[in-house]
Copies of this chain bind each other. A is one copy, B any other.
Amino acid sequence: MALSAALLAAAGELTQRIHEGVVARGFEGVRPAHGFAFARLAPDGATVGDVAAHLGVTKQAASQLVEELVRKGYVERRPHPDDARARLVVLTELGWACTRAAEEAAADAVRAWAEVVGEDEMRALHARLAGIAPYGPIRPAW
């Protein structure tokens, strides 16, 4: 199996498992791309442009995605403290709960893998990946 195929298969499988875990924990109407947006929003919020760059899509697409998350109650738009044009998108309590659920689901999935290849190996894998693609966007499609 080619490396690219292996990477994609692993990434896809992990993404799907996390998504299933999130749904199983009772969060509805969320897609994997939302989860990656949450990851960018989590610490202190972010602008639509930040989310767009993180997901590797246009600002308009990110704006639509945020709008959807607002409708569903996962995030809210607040005025940006330093820039009157910008709006700071922050997670609501529901958004935080969903993020925690995703982290739990991810931990479960990684644990399952660690049982196959060993925990040290997983850490090594993670470290190598981080060295290879430090800050690339999380392309939701291609």
Contact = CB atoms under 8 A, between A and B. Distances in A.
B139 A12 contact: yes
Contacts of A135: 9
Contacts of A121: 128
Give the copy number: 2
Interface in A82-135: 106, 110, 113, 116-117, 121-122, 124-126, 128-135
Given A4-B14, A117-B132, A132-B117, A141 B138 contact: no
B106 A2 contact: yes
Contacts of A132: 10, 13, 113, 116-117
Contacts of A124: 124, 128
Specify the main secondary structure of chain A where it touches its partner.
Answer: helix
A113 B132 CA distance: 6
Interface of A: 1-16, 18-19, 31-33, 36, 39, 56, 106, 110, 113, 116-117, 121-122, 124-126, 128-142
6 contacts: A6-B133, A12-B136, A12-B137, A16-B142, A33-B142, A140-B142
Given A3-B129, A15-B142, 11 more contacts: A6-B133, A7-B10, A7-B11, A7-B129, A8-B36, A10-B11, A11-B11, A12-B56, A125-B128, A140-B142, A141-B142
